[in-house]
Structure 1
Amino acid sequence: MKKLKYILFGLVIAGSSCSKFDEINTNPEATKKVTSAMIATRIIINIANQPTQKGFLQPYMLNKNIVWTEFVESYQYNGFGSTGLSFTSINDAHFMAQFAGTEKLAKSYDGLMYFARAVKFFESTMDLGDIPYQDALKGETDKNYFPKYDTQKDVFIGVLAELERADQLFAEGEKFAGDPMYGGDPVKWRKLVNSFALHVLIQLSKKESDSDLQIKSKFQQILANKPIFTSNADNYQLIRSDKSGQIYPFYKVGNNFTIYPIMSTEIIDRLKTLQDRRLFYYAAPSPVKLEGGMSQQEFGAYVGIDPSLVYDNITAIKSTRDYSKLNDRYTEIATGEPTQQLSYSQLCFIVAEAATRGWIADPAVDWYKKGVEASMKFIYDNTPNAAQFHHDMPLDATYISTYVTGLGAAFPVAPEARIEAIITQKYLASFLQSEFYTYYDYRRTGYPKWKINSASSLNSEAPDRIPVRWKYPSSEFNYNTENVDAAVARQYDGVDDINKLMWILK
């Protein structure tokens, strides 16, 4: 009886006081209405941000930027598993235009939507091959919960079309709110959209003769007629601050992983060979070399570890203290450097490669030199002018000018040697930047020539190779079985194999 009375009392309270209950439990400081700007901010942060702490460095283990010494790390030893296949971060992007208020504003927000879609679909197809595209994101509108997979070729055609549409919309739009990257400037967004399109096109280099894609003509048209990056001020990047949630991803506070990364020989040795002062900004000198009488200004004072060595050998070297850790600017400065997804420097190397391949008439060497110059200026401009961070070897204007001139004079003559030089410089300019984009270039061109050690490789089926793709997520096999099985059969002879070539690599 007591229990019954309590329930009845509760029902009375619930029935008579619902509105008051809602009032009491409403946060007066929280927004009650979703705006276009709110959605835009979330989408931009999602596509431009990078993970923090160890998660931040994982792509750079695969890219051979660093050696990880905590324990055996899969990416360092070329061990691949499955990856995600989710587009939920953009499933509400279409609401931005609906809430915009004016036609021009709606066009800018739609431009952002198409760009974000292009980025998400591009990155997913680059990782996996065929993916859902035409049927994707139709669960709410069409109740299509089991999307079919499109061929990778059709996905790329779609991605390029969406980038073109984004450029048109931004050209017809106006400044919009909610943009932490470019302040809502549609001209800067056009530069990004078109520069990203050139990035997509260069990834199709093996398909340059495919008449359906029209790769060369599209590249030429963008370069000649559309706005693209012209300086580091246009970089697709997030500028960091010392505010919570905005600090540099590997800053030391609250970060227990700063003791584990060591500079890789793949970076150190190339910079030493080239006598490139970026070495003094990327790395710290070996304490053993300094104790032995070397100066922090000497290239010989910097020592990397071969990331392909078996783990026990790496830990043995670490115990000697004769190695270079990351430069202090990555751990000691809360604002660090901006984190890039695509930079002006990288764009210059993309155009240099296109010129080398005969897609455009521009001299490849000019874009090659501009790429190195932009990389060095970016580092100099985003690093405090202190010996702690450049070891008294600053990348000042005089050094950059002299160095770039010499590099241009040594630019190779043979086309393949030029491709190697361009991709190598693009790699060096992308140190701890752009996540997996360096890996995409490696599997497409074979450059840089990273060391592979069969004795340490976790690629059990092909220990002498770095895998060329990730596996589809298990959730697809569990819930979208028919469609993912068809995609695997169509591409990889029915085996979801990390060593099977996707369409763009054939």
Structure 2
Amino acid sequence: MKKILHIFLTLGVMTGLSSCEKYLDINTDPSNPQVAEASAILPPVLAQMVRGHVFDSRFTGRYVQYWGLNSALDSWERHGYISGSDNGGEMWRSHYWSVGKNIDLIIEDATPKKQFDYVGAAKAIRAWTWQTTTDVHGEMILKQAWEPNRYVFEYDSQEDVYKEVVRLATEAIQDLSNTETIPALRRGDAVYNGDVTKWTKFAYAVLARNAHNLTNKASYNPDKVIEYVDKSFTSNADNFSVSHAGSNSLDGNFYGPLRGNLTTTVPGAFTIGLLDGTTFAGVVDPRLPIMFAASPDGVYRGVQATFGDPNNAAGNVRRIPLLWGNLPGTTAPTAGRWIYRDNAPYQLATYAELQFIKAEAALKKNNPTLALEAYKKGIEAHMDFVGVAAADKAKYMTSTAVAQTAGTLKLSDVMLQKYIALYAIGAMETWVDMRRHKYSSDVYTGFTLPTGTRLFPDNNGKPVYRMRPRYNSEYVWNRKSLDIIGGNNPDYHTYEIWFVKP
């Protein structure tokens, strides 16, 4: 937690100089603000939400076999981790530091001004960072988070963190509907342009994820999940999309050519199999040529987890850079396909995902008719997001790849289509789903875990269920607290996370 401590040391120095306030006033530049306003803090907070999510998705994407590396026996594909590295700790860093206390600063600035729209948005963001981070790591520092003058921080249960998400999201909804608000959120809001209705829908999206992740618990309430989904996004226009200017590597989309990320990353064979007709009885998905690049011979190929890319030497490269090329009539930053443009927005929550959540909840409620409706809406929404032509979408929706009746709809139908819809931008949420279903090949048809020597050596034959906390804060500065939860054990990353357990 060293980074957190630095924040409070700075605040402590500022407090200690308060007695010299009059002297310091003569050195104050009246042209520059001395207190950061909410409108100035919010944009970088939004950017850091994306950074935390997408940087860790590099590794959760390998756990769920969205993609793999050219080289064989990658530690993440083996359901392992990199010792002594911050890889896999970016959401932790984002939640506690780069978003961290900035949320409090927004609330402290906005509350006396009665800008409750900022207050509500800030609480919704913090609810999202708690939810997303605990879903990756499990136990977190909740009660002592951001407490000054501390060198040791004690972990709290994931159950407590889940309750905190509900509290914050509920308060966010109340603040966003406060009739005494003096509207101001439009300044600095690069997602919804100050639309409190859409921010409210986002808060309900967080609540829907929170409630739905508990499918293995006796307390799971499908009616409550469906209620939250119905109060959330109603179309792709409501998606939580963080925009990118795409003018340089600093403001460019993570997946765009300016940043040049994932140059050795290749789609996973399981993913390609869902779209090329392998899994769905010969039906080729119209999303395939938009989301992926074919090999020189026109065949779409993916790598089997832990085996690397044996065809690379033969020239059958189908890596992400092949999606960066100019399409007809496009130039930078709009060049590239689908999410692989420099100015492409990054989606942190989507209408399609929520419809699949509703479909699964409806199946558990034994309402297959409602489930079928939501399932089809989810597929159609993702096809629209990808940019599938109307005729191709209509043809696919009546094919054997899509369940046509309530009586034939299965859980695997819902989860496989959700897996496709969350490709790349939803790798973190897909990992939540796979762990909820214990990586079941009955749910994820054709999915196989690495076994034997292909599995990470510290796993003792078990798949991964959590990422370790961030190395440079927890393992360097907070190691004694990790002992209490088993965090220093070699196989800690295989411990089933709370929401997985009955």
Aligned pairs for 1:56-205 within 5 A:
57-69=58-70, 73-81=74-82, 83-84=88-89, 85-86=92-93, 87-88=96-97, 89-100=99-110, 104-105=114-115, 107-139=116-148, 143-172=149-178, 173=181, 174-176=183-185, 177-205=187-215
| 2:38 corresponds to | 36
Could you tell me how far 1:473 is from its partner in structure 2?
Answer: 4.3
- Structure 1: which 5+ residue stretches go unaligned? 1-17, 291-300, 381-394
Aligned pairs for 1:374-413 within 5 A:
374-380=381-387, 395-406=388-399, 407-410=401-404, 413=407
Which of 1 and 2 has greater Rg? 1
- Write the distance in 2 (CA, Å) between the matches of 1:127 and 1:326: 25
- Write the distance in 1 (CA, Å) between the matches of 2:262 and 2:125: 32
Per-residue CA shift, 1:114-147, capped at 9, x if unaligned?
Answer: 22221222223222222221221222xxx45533
- CA RMSD of superposed structures (Å): 3.3
Could you tell me how far 1:57 is from its partner in structure 2?
Answer: 4.1
CA 1:307–1:463 in structure 2 vs 1: closer, same or farther (change >3 Å)? farther
CA 1:255–1:151 in structure 2 vs 1: closer, same or farther (change >3 Å)? closer
Aligned pairs for 1:222-233 within 5 A:
222-223=228-229, 227-233=231-237
Is the deviation greater in 164-173 or in 179-188?
A: 164-173
Question: Do 2:229 and 2:354's aligned partners in 1 also have CA atoms closer than 8 Å?
Answer: no
Could you tell me how far 1:66 is from its partner in structure 2?
Answer: 2.1
Residue 314 of structure 2 is aligned with which of 320, 323, 332? 320
CA 1:97–1:155 in structure 2 vs 1: closer, same or farther (change >3 Å)? closer
| 1:426 corresponds to | 418
Per-residue CA shift, 1:382-414, capped at 9, x if unaligned?
Answer: xxxxxxxxxxxxx21122123223354446747
| 1:438 corresponds to | 430
Question: Do 2:68 and 2:265's aligned partners in 1 also have CA atoms closer than 8 Å?
Answer: yes
- Structure 2: which 5+ residue stretches go unaligned? 1-22, 278-282, 327-331, 335-340
- Write the distance in 2 (CA, Å) between the matches of 1:58 and 1:470: 10
Amino acid at match of 1:75: W
Is the deviation greater in 239-248 or in 418-427?
A: 239-248
Question: Do 1:49 and 1:238's aligned partners in 2 also have CA atoms closer than 8 Å?
Answer: no
| 2:463 corresponds to | 466
CA 1:340–1:120 in structure 2 vs 1: closer, same or farther (change >3 Å)? same
* 1:250 is the counterpart of 2:243: no
* 1:281 is the counterpart of 2:290: yes
Secondary structure of the corresponding residue to residue 341 of structure 1? strand
State the identity %: 22
Amino acid at match of 1:239: S
Could you tell me how far 1:477 is from its partner in structure 2?
Answer: 5.2
Secondary structure of the corresponding residue to residue 262 of structure 1? strand
TM-score, with length taken from structure 1: 0.77
Secondary structure of the corresponding residue to residue 241 of structure 2? strand
- Write the distance in 2 (CA, Å) between the matches of 1:126 and 1:457: 25
- Write the distance in 1 (CA, Å) between the matches of 2:67 and 2:484: 38
Could you tell me how far 1:360 is from its partner in structure 2?
Answer: 6.8
Could you tell me how far 1:444 is from its partner in structure 2?
Answer: 1.2
Secondary structure of the corresponding residue to residue 492 of structure 2? coil
- Write the distance in 1 (CA, Å) between the matches of 2:406 and 2:486: 41
TM-score, with length taken from structure 2: 0.78
CA 1:240–1:268 in structure 2 vs 1: closer, same or farther (change >3 Å)? same
Residue 450 of structure 1 is aligned with which of 447, 465, 474? 447
Amino acid at match of 2:101: N
Question: Do 2:73 and 2:454's aligned partners in 1 also have CA atoms closer than 8 Å?
Answer: no
Could you tell me how far 1:203 is from its partner in structure 2?
Answer: 1.2
* 1:356 is the counterpart of 2:363: yes
Question: Do 1:195 and 1:347's aligned partners in 2 also have CA atoms closer than 8 Å?
Answer: yes
- Write the distance in 2 (CA, Å) between the matches of 1:40 and 1:484: 32
Could you tell me how far 1:467 is from its partner in structure 2?
Answer: 0.7
Question: Do 2:266 and 2:302's aligned partners in 1 also have CA atoms closer than 8 Å?
Answer: yes
Could you tell me how far 1:233 is from its partner in structure 2?
Answer: 1.0
Question: Do 2:358 and 2:371's aligned partners in 1 also have CA atoms closer than 8 Å?
Answer: yes
